[in-house]
Amino acid sequence: MSKLVKPIEYASSQGISRQAVYAKIKKGTLDSKTVDGKIYIVVNEVEREDEKKSEKKEEVAPHLINVKELLSSKDQTISVLKESISDLKHTNTEINTTLRGEIELLKQVFAEMRNLYVKQVDYMVLDKQKEVETQAAPIEAISLKESRDNNENEECWITLDEFFERCKISKEKRKVKVVKRLRKAFMQNDERIKMEEDIIYLSCYHFYEDILNKKQ
């Protein structure tokens, strides 16, 4: 018959360290069994009898020590510790490699985000500059003074597309606002504007700053 003994009890009965017991289990020189996640040493009754005899001998001569067994357990303990240290070094190397990879990835993501942010800011600045230039710059006369002097009696009308191109108006929202103001001015009998079949035409000989720069 056999009996399950805890490693610490077995180590105490054999006069060796617990590390030496685990080393024997790992090498397969000591029979063991796992129950509910715990390791136990399988000890036969014959071995138990030998242990009892050994205990009696130790009682008779407690000062006698098995030097060879102690040296063997020491060597086994050192071997287990060396293996543990080697495993720890390998694990630490893997962790350091993973961390370095994560850090490099974060650096790349940060650099890409920074570049996107800088580009977006540049676009916003350019749009703002264009808008300021469009609003602040004086609107040039749609026709030159010489043409007006030479053709006082000649009519000159342009379409909305030509008007927007000459006034450098490209944004659709601004175009919609200007069209509304032009229609309103036409309803108020503004001589600079005429409509034919619901199409707006504008005179070449006038300025339109009052309509373009009109505040809501």
Model pLDDT for residues 29-55, shown as the tens digit of each residue: 888 888 888 888 888 765 555 555 555
CATH number for position 39: 1.10.10
Which ranges constitute the DSSP H helices of 16-66?
18-27, 45-60
pLDDT value at 57 more than 60: no
CA neighbor of 158 nearest in space, from 167, 149, 150: 167
107 occurs within a structural domain: no
Higher-confidence residue of 166 and 48: namely 166
Q: Is residue 129 part of a domain?
A: no
Do strands 193-196 and 38-44 pair parallel, antiparallel, or not at all (unpaired)? Answer: unpaired
In a domain, 188, yes or no: yes
Average of per-residue pLDDT across 55-65: 48
Which pLDDT score is estimated for 76?
75
Question: How many domains, in total, are found in the chain?
Answer: 2
Mean of per-residue pLDDT scores for the chain: 77
**pLDDT score of 75:** 75
Region 109-113: what's the mean pLDDT? 76
Tell me: the pLDDT tens digits for 128-165? 776 666 554 445 445 444 445 554 456 789 999 999 99
Residue 202, in any domain of the structure? yes
Residues near 64 by beta carbon (within 8 Å), at least 6 away in sequence: 57, 58
CB 53 within 8 A of CB 13: no
Asked whether the predicted pLDDT for residue 184 surpasses 70, the reply is yes
In a domain, residue 61? The reply is: yes
Identify any residues that bridge with 193 across adjacent strands, giving them in sequence order: 202
Last residue of a domain, one of 25, 52, 80: 80
Pairing, β 38-44 against β 32-35 = antiparallel
More confident residue, 160 or 82: 160
The better pLDDT of the pair 109, 110 is held by: 109
pLDDT at 198 over 80: yes
Which domain-ending residue is among 80, 110, 129? Answer: 80
Domain assignment present for residue 163? The answer is yes
> Is 16 contained in some domain?
yes
Taking residues 174-201, what's their average pLDDT? 92
Q: Is residue 157 part of a domain?
A: yes
- Distance, in Å, from the CA atom of 186 to the CA atom of 180, rounded to the nearest integer, reads 10
Contacting residues for 205 by C-beta, under 8 A, at least 6 apart: 141, 142, 143, 148, 156
Enclosing H/E stretch for 40:
strand 38-44
Q: What is the pLDDT of residue 157?
A: 93
Output DSSP code: residue 141. P
* Domain carrying residue 61: 2-80
Tell me how far apart the 2 most distant CA atoms of the chain are, in Å: 142
Structure tokens at 31: 């029979």
- Residue where a domain terminates, one of 53, 80, 107: 80
Lowest mean pLDDT among 6-15, 96-105, 119-128: 119-128
